[in-house]
Amino acid sequence: MDTQCVVVGIGNPYLQDDRAGVVVIERLEQDNLDCRTEVVYTVGFEVMDKIRGCERAIIVDACMLGNEPGSILEVGVDDIFSTHALINSHAITLGTTLKTGYLCFPEEMPADIRILLIEVKEIKEFTQQMSPEVEAAVDIVVERIKGLIAGKVAAG
């Protein structure tokens, strides 16, 4: 297995707070991180293709779980498979994608996957302007990921 790290941001760059994952990647790309970055626009099998062959993956996505807008939820693969709220949310396809990857390509999937979910406030309008709550959460997630990549922050 390749020993690289990848950060994958998921979202629609034109849909209000759903663009949070994309914006995280845009901001991370401004720094010279020791980690590959990728953007995907849906939570389908493309996510699996982006993380296969890596030892470590960090996935960032917007979510609608009923939490306070701008809340950040950090989960692992086991959480996304077993937490009822995540299974019945937008993340169902992400969970199914990851589970399929582990079933079909167990030797190629990352040993360490962290999933950072940002609770949205607004996703009804096509705009590149995020809500202030999600904008603030994006800043926090960017710093969290930098710490994870640098090894300064423990996962979980």
Task: Count Cβ atoms within 10 A of the Cβ of residue 26 and give its class: 0-12 exposed, 13-18 middle, 19 or more buried.
Answer: middle
Closest CA to 130 of 10, 9, 8, 12: 12
* Residues in a beta bridge with 6: 36, 57
Question: Quick one: pLDDT at residue 87?
Answer: 43
Question: Quick one: pLDDT at residue 153?
Answer: 53
Question: Quick one: pLDDT at residue 109?
Answer: 92
Question: Quick one: pLDDT at residue 91?
Answer: 43
What residue ranges do the domains of the chain occupy?
5-150
Tell me the two tokens of residue 88.
Answer: 């019945």
Question: Quick one: pLDDT at residue 97?
Answer: 82
- Quote the CA–CA distance of 3 and 10 in Å, as a whole number: 22
Task: Kindly report the number of other CB atoms within 10 A of residue 67's CB atom.
Answer: 15
| Amino acid sitting at position 113 | I
| Amino acid sitting at position 10 | I
- Quote the CA–CA distance of 113 and 115 in Å, as a whole number: 7
Name the CATH architecture for the domain at 5-150. Answer: 3-Layer(aba) Sandwich (3.40)
Q: How confident is the prediction along the chain (156 residues), in pLDDT tens digits per residue?
A: 335 899 999 999 999 999 999 999 999 999 888 899 999 998 778 899 999 999 999 999 999 889 999 999 998 877 766 555 544 344 446 877 888 888 889 899 998 999 999 999 988 889 899 999 999 999 999 999 999 998 855 544
In angstroms, the first-to-last Cα distance of the chain is 23
